[in-house]
Chain A
Amino acid sequence: MTLLEKSPQAQPQPAGPRPRPRRRSRDIGVVAAVAASVLLVVVGSVYPLAAVLSTALSGPALPRYAEFATSSVDLTILRNTLVLGLLVGGFGTALGFLFAFVQTRLAVPGKRILHVVALVPVVSPPFAVATAAIVLYGRRGAVTHGLLGVDYDIYGLDGLVFVLSLSLFPVAYLGMLGMMRGLDPAMEEAAMNMGASRWQIFRTVQLPLLAPGLAAPFLLLFVEAIADLANPLALGGDYTVLASRAYLAVTGEYDTTSAAVYSLILLVPSVGLYLAQRYWLGRKIRTTITGRPSGSVHLITGWARWPIFGLAVLVALLVVSLYGTVVVGSVTRVFGVDNTVTFEHFREVLLGAGRSALQDTTLLAAVATPIAGVFGLLIAWLVTRHLRRSAGWLDFAGTLGVAVPGTVLGIGYLLAYRPDRYIGDLLVLPGLVGGTAVAGGSLAIVLAYITRSVPAGLRTGGAALTQLHPSLEEASVNLGAGSFRTFRAVVLPLIRPALLTGLSYSFARSMTSISTVILLVTPNTKIITSQILSAANTGRYGVAFAYCTVLTAIVLAGFGLIRLLVGGTVTLYRTAAPAGRKQR
């Protein structure tokens, strides 16, 4: 059964058309979950952000706002940022949708290969793509200059959109894949039985059902694009955005005040869009999963599948060419100049200076991943099911980890957790950041990983939960199960694809995160991404490429392990795999 209704459950409104039975007041599971979630978001993002805000709203910062509003330079930067966010959000979501559509609705060969290709960008630092793009498609690019003989200038907005869309679209793809596989095919079957064409079905059934799912990735890509730092620095040309300007203020001008001001201004569009999306989502909630999807998917077999498939293949080829360059570049002396094969770079990464960085980063990310994945879903569940007025706040606080530019969060950590905290003469909280801190500063890094990863699980979990009708949980509660047991035994298995996505993404994000941890790296805790930046800055691209290759391998191994542990395969491939069609 599929229900379409005006529903209040995702919104903190006190009264709905059909009041839900309230949970018993002494539901200890929910209270504990709320406490843990609140503690995490307060420690991970709210408090560090408050530290930044208190700097941004202090006396000396105030004249900067007037300056910003009247400076044409600053206003151009703001416009640049918004344009970049919109374009990357649009293109990235479109690409993600394209790949998810091909995966779930087209009868074409090689879908598993496409799936793997679409996952690759998740697992490598965006810096790799930018460099490879310059090497291949830049002014002297092997493809643009060498093969086609054109003088294409990749620096600027077009290059940024190209690189960012290709690096970020897997986020949209993974989210929409889970959702499209969860879509109940019964609606499509019904439309088909009534004689609707494929296009009509797409326009009037699938698209409206997926609309909330399209908004979430768009939001995520928008905020990620405007917060991205590595790419504007690598190939922005004279296209300046707020994030790179704030970074410049910190690293170049030692001016945390200006950086905080720019960050505040950067927060406005993210938060504005976020609230707009919430309002829009809240007006129409569509629940399509009422248990297991019934019926089976009818894959498109007509001629129309080929142009769509061709487009996806073209994008996949672009991705492959970029990452191929990374891999090939890691075993050549200087790619494009001196193409002698060498394993020097790998020796340095695996046996030399890079080894401790590999160990440290993997360990810290492995600690952070399960915590982030579970908390992402937990917060999503609390927000959509259990909290009312405070739901919006918790959801918002959980999203901060991604809405706040990583550099700013890093500065917040420095301000908030750097000093030892005393009450009187009693040491209550020793410093968490820096070489002199507890555990060599690794606690702060893990905390940063978790905070930056939770929103992924929260978004995918939230999207999955809005499609899951609460009656299932109500049934469980009415039968006497506690809220926590309901979460574990009913909710989790049904949104397992979202959990898989959340965990995978958390691990990849932790391993490849740079903007926050770059400020937290200490002498005794080395992080791969900061090693990559260092190698790239000194022009040792071969070493940087080797790091990227090893990093990608570790993340892919992590994906495999997570898949094995969560057991996502069954759910993920149930509806679209050829085997599913034979069951009829």
Chain B
Amino acid sequence: MAPPQHRRVRAVLVLLAATALAAGGCARSDAGNPASAKDSGKVVVACGATEEWCSAMTTRFTKETGIKAEFVRLSSGETVARLQAGKANPEFDVWHGGPADGFVAAGEQGLLDPYVSANAATIPARYKDPTGLWTGVYVGVLGFCNNTKILAEKKVAAPRSWQDLLNPGLAKDVGIAHPSTSGTAYTMLWTQTALHQGADGALDYMKRLHPNVLQYSKSGIAPAQQAARGEVGVGVIFSHDCVATQEQGFKDLSLTFPSEGTGYEVGGVALVHGAHNPSSARRYIDWTLTPAAQEIGPTVKSYQVPTNPQAKLSDKTVDLSQVKLVDYDVAAAGRAKKDLTKRFDAEVAQAPKS
């Protein structure tokens, strides 16, 4: 027989469990009902670029429009996870920055609302979604970020093609991020898909590259740091990240591009499904497409190419006409992302290095 005290304890437990179950049973899931679409004169941004860039963008937007803007910096994977979790009551109004592949994946899950901004007319068609699901705000090109000092020590010339990267002299001396977390690395994986006409060829190339990879880091920018510090000889990253790292004082870095053709990202901006501040969000999107907004990047060491042809280019920005680009199908890349990264993880990333 349990003493009375324990009966009481058990009663408390049962009561608590019942409350939890009752509360758990009735979450509301009416996403984006019109009643919530009142605008409170501010905009909350899920920002996929660097902290400095996000901060500079939102501050300037507030200054020019008087609309309050807040942001959280999130990688594209995190953003989708949080948009998913907050589907019924989204905390963000706009998603700004990060490769468009991720936007396509989010759009497939109904996490974004189409919005064709009037300002999008000036953006070239290849940098935007025809239905307005996302619109491009910048373009970044993949390149090789080389530590010349290390390469000289290893007596290896700076790679100028994807084939050069397979050089056995670069064993464990190439830095790449993991395509599951990093939009950068996924761009590289899809670039191989485009170059090798299909996933099998791409994975085969990655398998041959595998012995040269030090580790698949989480963040796409990390290989720039690894190269800068001499942990690896070559980092495969977006060229603007390499330039920004050079700017931080790493003088040994040099930038080359693969001769077979390289991949590129289109950084997007999109309206979140069921946003609490839809009209402010639309104004924010309109603003990000203006030349003035796209010229902010270089002031905070973000040297991506603006999508608006009227925006002035910084002399540190890569000249797209000088680099051979692959035919990069953003929509197909976004749709294939889940399966391809899964295959990469199972077939390449976990394989032992000989």
* Interface residues of A, Cβ cutoff 8 Å to B: 22-23, 25, 27, 30-31, 34-35, 38-39, 42, 46-47, 50-51, 71, 73, 76-77, 134-135, 138-140, 153, 155, 233, 235-238, 240, 248-256, 333-334, 336-338, 353, 387-390, 411, 414-416, 418-424, 428-429, 431, 434-437, 441, 519, 521-524, 531, 534-535, 537-541
In the complex, whether B204 has a CB less than 8 A from a CB of chain A is no
Contact A139 B231 (CB under 8 A): yes
| Chain B hits for A38, CB < 8 A | 12-13, 16
Contact B27 A47 (CB under 8 A): no
A-B contact pairs, 24 of them (CB 8 A): A25-B5, A31-B9, A31-B12, A47-B20, A139-B231, A233-B218, A240-B349, A248-B178, A248-B181, A249-B180, A251-B180, A253-B338, A253-B341, A414-B82, A418-B85, A435-B44, A522-B72, A523-B70, A531-B51, A538-B50, A539-B221, A539-B222, A539-B228, A540-B248
Contact A539 B215 (CB under 8 A): no
In the complex, whether B77 has a CB less than 8 A from a CB of chain A is yes
Task: Identify which of A138, A254, A424, A535 contacts B80 (C-beta below 8 A).
Answer: A254
| Chain B hits for A420, CB < 8 A | 27-28, 89
Chain B residue with Cβ nearest A419 = B27
| Chain B hits for A418, CB < 8 A | 85-86, 88-89
Counted as pairs of residues, one from A and one from B, with CB atoms less than 8 Å apart, the total is 204
In the complex, whether B34 has a CB less than 8 A from a CB of chain A is no
Contact A522 B91 (CB under 8 A): yes
| Chain A hits for B4, CB < 8 A | 25
In this complex, the member of A76, A240, A256, A537 whose beta carbon has the largest number of chain B beta carbons within 10 angstroms is A537
| Chain B hits for A73, CB < 8 A | 346, 350
In this complex, the member of A76, A240, A254, A534 whose beta carbon has the largest number of chain B beta carbons within 10 angstroms is A254
Contact A435 B12 (CB under 8 A): no
| Chain A hits for B219, CB < 8 A | 537
Distance, CA A126 to CA B186, complexed state (A): 28
Distance, CA A155 to CA B226, complexed state (A): 12
Contact A251 B221 (CB under 8 A): no
Task: Identify which of A22, A23, A31, A419 contacts B29 (C-beta below 8 A).
Answer: A419
Contact B9 A387 (CB under 8 A): yes
- Give the top 6 A-B pairs by smallest Cβ distance, nearest first: A252-B180, A523-B70, A251-B77, A435-B91, A140-B230, A434-B91
Contact A253 B27 (CB under 8 A): no
Contact A252 B5 (CB under 8 A): no
| Chain B hits for A253, CB < 8 A | 77, 180, 338, 341-342
Closest chain-A Cβ to B7's Cβ sits at a distance in Å of 9
In the complex, whether B245 has a CB less than 8 A from a CB of chain A is yes
Distance, CA A255 to CA B342, complexed state (A): 11
| Chain B hits for A238, CB < 8 A | 215-216, 349-350, 352-353
Contact A155 B214 (CB under 8 A): yes
Distance, CA A279 to CA B28, complexed state (A): 44
Query: Given A140-B230, A238-B215, do A523 and B77 touch, yes or no (CB 8 Å)?
Result: no
| Chain B hits for A429, CB < 8 A | 23
The B1-49 residues at the A interface (CB cut-off 8 A) are 2-6, 8-10, 12-13, 16-17, 20, 22-24, 26-29, 44-45
Query: Given A138-B231, A337-B229, do A390 and B28 touch, yes or no (CB 8 Å)?
Result: no
Contact B70 A333 (CB under 8 A): no
* Interface residues of B, Cβ cutoff 8 Å to A: 2-6, 8-10, 12-13, 16-17, 20, 22-24, 26-29, 44-45, 50-52, 55, 70-73, 75, 77-78, 80-82, 84-86, 88-92, 105, 109, 150, 172, 178-182, 214-219, 221-222, 224-225, 228-231, 244-245, 248-250, 276, 338, 341-342, 345-346, 349-350, 352-353
Closest chain-B Cβ to A556's Cβ sits at a distance in Å of 27
Distance, CA A383 to CA B200, complexed state (A): 57
Query: Given A419-B28, A535-B51, A539-B245, do A254 and B5 touch, yes or no (CB 8 Å)?
Result: no
Contact B88 A419 (CB under 8 A): yes
Contact A25 B230 (CB under 8 A): no
Distance, CA A35 to CA B23, complexed state (A): 18
Distance, CA A389 to CA B7, complexed state (A): 11
Contact A337 B9 (CB under 8 A): no
| Chain B hits for A428, CB < 8 A | 23
Contact A389 B86 (CB under 8 A): no
Closest chain-A Cβ to B33's Cβ sits at a distance in Å of 12
| Chain A hits for B51, CB < 8 A | 353, 531, 534-535, 538
Contact A422 B28 (CB under 8 A): yes
| Chain A hits for B222, CB < 8 A | 537, 539
| Chain A hits for B229, CB < 8 A | 134-135, 138, 140, 336-337
| Chain A hits for B17, CB < 8 A | 42
Contact A539 B224 (CB under 8 A): yes
Closest chain-B Cβ to A390's Cβ sits at a distance in Å of 6
Chain A residue with Cβ nearest B52 = A538
Contact A523 B10 (CB under 8 A): no
Task: Identify which of A35, A134, A251, A423 contacts B81 (C-beta below 8 A).
Answer: A251
Contact A248 B353 (CB under 8 A): no
Besides A238-B349, A419-B88, A421-B23, 8 other CB < 8 A contacts?
A25-B5, A251-B75, A253-B77, A256-B81, A334-B248, A415-B85, A423-B26, A521-B72
| Chain A hits for B12, CB < 8 A | 31, 34-35, 38
Query: Given A435-B91, A537-B221, do A155 and B85 touch, yes or no (CB 8 Å)?
Result: no
Contact A421 B26 (CB under 8 A): yes
Distance, CA A39 to CA B13, complexed state (A): 9
Distance, CA A257 to CA B352, complexed state (A): 27
| Chain B hits for A240, CB < 8 A | 349-350
| Chain A hits for B2, CB < 8 A | 388-389
Query: Given A254-B105, A389-B6, A436-B91, do A71 and B215 touch, yes or no (CB 8 Å)?
Result: no
Closest chain-A Cβ to B22's Cβ sits at a distance in Å of 7
Distance, CA A69 to CA B224, complexed state (A): 37
Chain A residue with Cβ nearest B23 = A421
Distance, CA A100 to CA B72, complexed state (A): 43
| Chain A hits for B81, CB < 8 A | 250-251, 254, 256, 411, 519
Chain A residue with Cβ nearest B223 = A539
| Chain A hits for B248, CB < 8 A | 334, 539-540
Closest chain-A Cβ to B232's Cβ sits at a distance in Å of 8
Chain B residue with Cβ nearest A14 = B2
| Chain B hits for A256, CB < 8 A | 81, 84
Closest chain-B Cβ to A142's Cβ sits at a distance in Å of 11
Distance, CA A248 to CA B165, complexed state (A): 26
| Chain B hits for A521, CB < 8 A | 72
Distance, CA A336 to CA B149, complexed state (A): 14
Contact B26 A422 (CB under 8 A): yes
Contact B345 A248 (CB under 8 A): yes
Chain B residue with Cβ nearest A229 = B218
Chain A residue with Cβ nearest B180 = A252
Distance, CA A523 to CA B9, complexed state (A): 41
Distance, CA A422 to CA B85, complexed state (A): 18
| Chain B hits for A424, CB < 8 A | 26
| Chain A hits for B250, CB < 8 A | 334, 337
Task: Identify which of A47, A248, A519 contacts B82 (C-beta below 8 A).
Answer: A519
Query: Given A236-B215, A431-B89, do A534 and B231 touch, yes or no (CB 8 Å)?
Result: no
Distance, CA A336 to CA B222, complexed state (A): 17
Distance, CA A532 to CA B105, complexed state (A): 28
Closest chain-A Cβ to B70's Cβ sits at a distance in Å of 4
Chain B residue with Cβ nearest A67 = B346
Contact B29 A524 (CB under 8 A): no
